[in-house]
Amino acid sequence: MSKWNLKVVENAGELRAVAESEELSVPTKTLFADIKAQLMFIPKNFSWTVGWKTYVWQEEKTGRFKDLSEDEYHTLSHGGTLPDSRDDDGSSDESKPHTTNEGGNTQ
């Protein structure tokens, strides 16, 4: 029987940006509003941070990754907790809950 550990996997980078930039697929209006709310102006020089993040199960022996079920992902993405590890049959040690604010970072 294999044991699986819950991991956070993410990668982020930076892109140069200017105030007129439309290079991102996210609405820049919201980002500019946030900058202005925090700084009270839009700086001439700054960068966008872009990346991705997901939660996966990692097998302890082989290191291979497996996707969370939709219910597990829904639980984490809505502030719930999951056990830190589980066996192939889905049983887990409930003593170490895992939330979206915890976890390993592998890149």
Per-residue pLDDT tens over the stretch 31-43 = 888 889 888 889 8
Residue-range domain boundaries for the chain: 3-106
**H or E stretch including 56?**
strand 46-59
Range with the poorest average pLDDT among 1-5, 22-26, 37-41, 89-93: 22-26
pLDDT level of residue 62 (50, 70, 90 thresholds) = very high
Q: Is the pLDDT of residue 107 over 70?
A: no
Residues 39 and 87 sit within 8 Å (Cβ to Cβ): no
Against a cut of 0.75, is the pTM above it? no
- Taken in order 81, 2, 104, 7, is the CA torsion positive or negative? negative
pLDDT on residue 18 = 67
Backbone φ and ψ for 100, nearest 5 degrees, come out as -70, -15
Mean pLDDT to the nearest integer, 83-104:
64
Which residue matches tokens 């719930």? 80
The type of residue at 34 is D
